[in-house]
Amino acid sequence: MSDPAVEAAQRAYAINCADATVYDEAVTAAREMAKPIRALHAPEYDEDLESNQCHECSDDWPCETAKLVYATEELER
């Protein structure tokens, strides 16, 4: 069985340049770990409601899960 945290860290290691700081690597690893969740909990426009809903849970956007995996700046767009 795979470990999503280890896989995200490995992807982050491959993404960062040689002079990346530990902070840079940690942020990249956290973003890599969040990618699959972000793919599920993404905004989707609902024409009937005339507003954005979460693709996965159909709650108003941003849903509670999205608030955990998107930066505030991304949610405000």
Q: Is the pLDDT of residue 1 over 70?
A: no
Determine the number of helices (DSSP H) and then strands (DSSP E) in the chain: 4, 2
Distance, CA of 20 to CA of 52 (rounded, Å): 37
- Work out the number of other CB atoms within 10 angstroms of the CB of residue 54: 19
What does pTM read for this prediction? 0.78
Computed over every residue of the chain, the mean pLDDT equals 91
Closest among 35, 70, 71, 43 to 59, alpha carbons compared: 43
Same domain for 25 and 51, yes or no, is no
Same domain for 15 and 1, yes or no, is yes
Mean predicted confidence (pLDDT) in 36-52: 93
- Say what the pLDDT of residue 62 is: 96
Same domain for 52 and 35, yes or no, is no
Place of tokens 């972000």: 38
Q: State what percent of residues in the chain have pLDDT above 70.
A: 99
Same domain for 14 and 32, yes or no, is yes
Same domain for 34 and 47, yes or no, is no
Mean predicted confidence (pLDDT) in 12-36: 90
Residue-number span of the structural domain to which 73 is assigned = 42-77
